[in-house]
Structure 1
């Protein structure tokens, strides 16, 4: 079997996956910079925001909602619970199921983090002309939704997505 010809191989700069990975690194860095005073990660923020939107959501549904591994969502919730931001409550109908709610401190944290989170989102889109930002977001949704099945943690967003 012969080696591929390097002169015909695409460069990294021609590969969408390369740019998507870089953009994800940038998104995390900008989020952490804008919210550093609160010590919350993007995954923790997503979990808190999803629980705020649907109090009493179970851990498995939360994981699917935010596109996170069901096997590791428990450790995220452990950290949120240890910080006093989220509570796990046993379901009345199935004691094995844990239903999630935010504490008053968790609600306050989301309110405090929101301005920085919104600044981070604006900073990520800032290089685009304003007229292209909505189109870019629409294209991102098409790519994510169209490739969702290939994720290690396919998401099943809460109803009303995109209307926020």
Structure 2
């Protein structure tokens, strides 16, 4: 292969690889203009495990819990090692309730529940302090990116 063609082939291969990486990004949500890469918990087993046994979570990451129907929700911090903000959203993806700066809990089944103040379908867990940093207020809209099931 002549040098010019080799460079062109390498450049083309590199661009295809970069394009593949860009399109392979995971699901995300946006809240008050900030994007968070998320893991999705949309079945009973995933919702039950949540963020248990993790020692850290990147600042721009979170976990989105998707429930089958809008209903009162209550989350707890059993075996959760990192403080969290627990944000509750209704069917329209509007913030209806939040529990800020929820501490870790190692008390097993004696960990207290943190209920929503109104029925919710989506629950977003972020690192503690994010709700304050975003200046979240009731009614804030949660926007879904590609890879998040749209109702």
TM-score by length of 1: 0.31
Which structure: greater strand fraction?
2
TM-score by length of 2: 0.33
